[in-house]
């Protein structure tokens, strides 16, 4: 009985929180009294009281003496953003990545509140449309769906992707694309095509750990370049690094980087491409978050701005459709195309034909664009909600990024906190976070962590943040 009641007040709390999120009640507005609320929602007065108490606990409302319940102002004092990074200035092998798999495995447990991996909760994904499209395409192409779809991959899918890439300014022929098992494979193929073991690769710092793992697995060395959380990789610092070290490739996530969330301006993107072109260094552009900006205008890709430059463009549908599809692609440019196709073939023969057909069907249906519009709003709200909660709960001196797209935030903690240790202890208490050191080849950023905001928001998440803040 108690549990049923618990569920009900929480559901009501969520419903009211949703009205606040949608702006039906705005900061400073008075909410209905408990009696009115209980009549409106047809629940007992005690359930209405419990729902308000829940909303108060999670920080949406505040009680004012003898006056009732009010929607809280959003924190007026925005937390400052972290400053530009200052990583080690020489190339180094990647260390410390074994920790990531351990964390990810543990975080697969449904009992754990998942704030660590950059994996959106299914509620953000077009699961029903995907299911329909995959089923329909399996029916339509029964035999084809089950055979090898050798590289470069399904022509219909490459056509749909080529159409979509025009939004990023890239005018591509479908023949210039190779379908891959997600963006991670696209990055691996790109690096294999342009480097050999022992080569130096320039990267943003901090950068997402998947890239560090690819660099590690290919026996390459990482050269971390200072990166500004608002503007991206420092082109000046990269220039100095290139003059000093034999850089063979540069990998960036220019649109809504992971973990910092910045979007590089077109001027900076052009300067970056120009610098690399001058030195004959290929740019590997990871645009996996490019469609996930919070404003209506889709940012350009470097490849769109400078179509003739040596750019290997990589992306996937992992953040916008579903990570488990493992469908991504690479546009490596004419000079690397044949090599990339061959490498894809000898690595794993093909990407699942059935899933390529399903993704192509969803793209063709037109429902994907509608879904993307909604997803951008949902991610933006999720980031605001998480940032507000961090502002409320975390100690003074905390700094946090203000991403303009995607769904992760980077938190810099005051003092000598060790987030490696914190992550282990938090996991014991059912909370997963991504500790700062895994975003660096040399395990820097000990006082930082990344939080994924695209989680199912309920009081478990608020409690998880409270737990973290108590541990801090």
Ligand X SMILES: Cc1ncc(COP(=O)(O)O)c(C=O)c1O
Q: Which positions touch ligand X (CB under 6 A)?
A: 118, 182-184, 208, 210, 253, 258, 286, 288, 316, 318, 323, 328
Q: For residues 229 and 323, which CB has a smaller minimum distance to ligand X in the complex?
A: 323
Query: Which tokens go with 250?
Result: 């540069």
Q: Collect all residues with Cβ–Cβ distance below 8 Å to 244 and sequence separation of at least 6.
A: none
In the complex, least distance from residue 207 CB atom to ligand X, rounded to whole angstroms: 8
Q: For residues 133 and 211, which CB has a smaller minimum distance to ligand X in the complex?
A: 211
Q: How far apart are CA 452 and CA 117, in angstroms?
A: 7
Distances (CA, A) of 121 to 106, 159, 394: 16, 29, 24
Q: For residues 112 and 118, which CB has a smaller minimum distance to ligand X in the complex?
A: 118
The residue number with the shortest CB distance to ligand X is: 182
In the complex, least distance from residue 257 CB atom to ligand X, rounded to whole angstroms: 7
In the complex, least distance from residue 279 CB atom to ligand X, rounded to whole angstroms: 24
Q: For residues 208 and 313, which CB has a smaller minimum distance to ligand X in the complex?
A: 208
The sheet carrying 434-435 orders its strands as 399-400, 408-412, 448-452, 434-435
Q: How far apart are CA 327 and CA 342, in angstroms?
A: 18
Q: Are 183 and 208 in contact (CB under 8 A)?
A: no
Q: For residues 47 and 320, which CB has a smaller minimum distance to ligand X in the complex?
A: 320
Q: Is the dihedral of CA 132, 133, 139, 142 positive or negative?
A: negative
In the complex, least distance from residue 324 CB atom to ligand X, rounded to whole angstroms: 9
Q: Where are the beta strands (DSSP E) in 318-419?
A: 328-331, 399-400, 408-412
Question: 20 - beta bridge partners?
Answer: none
CA 13 vs. chain centroid, Å, equals: 28
Q: For residues 162 and 253, which CB has a smaller minimum distance to ligand X in the complex?
A: 253
Q: For residues 137 and 318, which CB has a smaller minimum distance to ligand X in the complex?
A: 318
Query: Which tokens go with 58?
Result: 């999670």
Q: How far apart are CA 120 and CA 372, in angstroms?
A: 13
Q: How far apart are CA 230 and CA 86, in angstroms?
A: 15
In the complex, least distance from residue 253 CB atom to ligand X, rounded to whole angstroms: 5
SS3 at position 40: helix
In the complex, least distance from residue 182 CB atom to ligand X, rounded to whole angstroms: 3
Residue owning tokens 């249906």 = 365
In the complex, least distance from residue 258 CB atom to ligand X, rounded to whole angstroms: 4
Q: For residues 182 and 358, which CB has a smaller minimum distance to ligand X in the complex?
A: 182
In the complex, least distance from residue 383 CB atom to ligand X, rounded to whole angstroms: 15
DSSP state of 92: B
């Amino acid at each position: 009985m108690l549990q049923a009641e618990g569920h009900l007040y929480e559901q009501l709390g969520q419903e009211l929180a949703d009205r606040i999120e949608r702006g039906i009640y705005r900061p400073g507005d008075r909410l209905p009294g408990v009696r009115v609320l209980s009549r409106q929602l047809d629940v007992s007065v005690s359930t209405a009281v419990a729902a308000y108490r829940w909303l108060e606990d999670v920080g949406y409302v505040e009680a004012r003496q003898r006056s009732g319940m009010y929607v809280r102002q959003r924190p007026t004092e925005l937390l400052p953003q972290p400053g530009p990074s200052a990583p080690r200035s020489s190339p180094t092998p990647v260390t410390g990545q074994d920790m990531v798999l351990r964390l990810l495995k543990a975080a697969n447990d449904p009992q754990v509140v998942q704030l660590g991996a950059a994996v959106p909760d299914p509620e953000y994904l077009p699961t029903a449309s995907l299911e329909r499209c995959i089923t329909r395409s399996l029916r339509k192409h029964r035999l084809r769906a089950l055979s090898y779809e050798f590289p470069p991959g399904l022509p219909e899918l490459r056509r749909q992707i080529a159409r979509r890439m025009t939004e990023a300014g890239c005018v591509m022929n479908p023949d210039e694309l190779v379908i891959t098992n997600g963006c991670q494979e696209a990055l691996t193929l790109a690096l294999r095509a342009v480097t050999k073991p022992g080569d130096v690769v320039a990267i943003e710092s901090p950068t997402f750990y998947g890239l560090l793992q690819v660099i590690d697995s290919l026996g390459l060395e990482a050269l971390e370049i200072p990166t500004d959380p608002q503007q991206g990789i420092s082109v000046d610092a990269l220039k100095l690094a290139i003059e000093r070290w034999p850089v063979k490739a540069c990998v960036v996530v220019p649109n809504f980087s992971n973990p910092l969330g910045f979007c590089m301006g077109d001027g900076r993107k052009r300067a970056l491409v120009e610098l690399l072109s001058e030195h004959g260094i290929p740019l590997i552009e990871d645009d996996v978050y490019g469609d996930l900006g919070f404003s209506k205008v889709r940012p350009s890709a470097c490849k769109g701005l400078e179509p003739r430059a040596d750019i290997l463009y990589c992306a996937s549908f992992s953040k916008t459709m579903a990570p488990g599809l493992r469908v991504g692609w690479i546009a490596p440019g004419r000079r690397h195309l044949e090599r990339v196709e061959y490498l894809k073939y000898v690595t794993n023969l093909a990407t699942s034909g059935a899933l390529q057909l399903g993704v192509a069907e969803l793209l063709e249906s037109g429902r994907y664009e509608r879904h993307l519009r909604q997803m951008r709003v949902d991610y933006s709200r999720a980031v605001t909600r998480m940032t507000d909660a961090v502002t409320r709960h975390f100690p003074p001196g905390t700094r946090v990024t203000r991403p303009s797209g995607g769904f992760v935030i980077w938190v810099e903690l005051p003092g000598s906190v060790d987030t490696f240790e914190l992550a282990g202890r938090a996991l014991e208490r059912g909370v997963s976070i991504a500790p700062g050191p895994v975003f660096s080849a040399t395990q820097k950023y000990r006082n930082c962590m990344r939080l994924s905001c695209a989680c199912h928001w309920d009081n478990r998440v608020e409690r998880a943040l409270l737990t973290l803040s108590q541990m801090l």
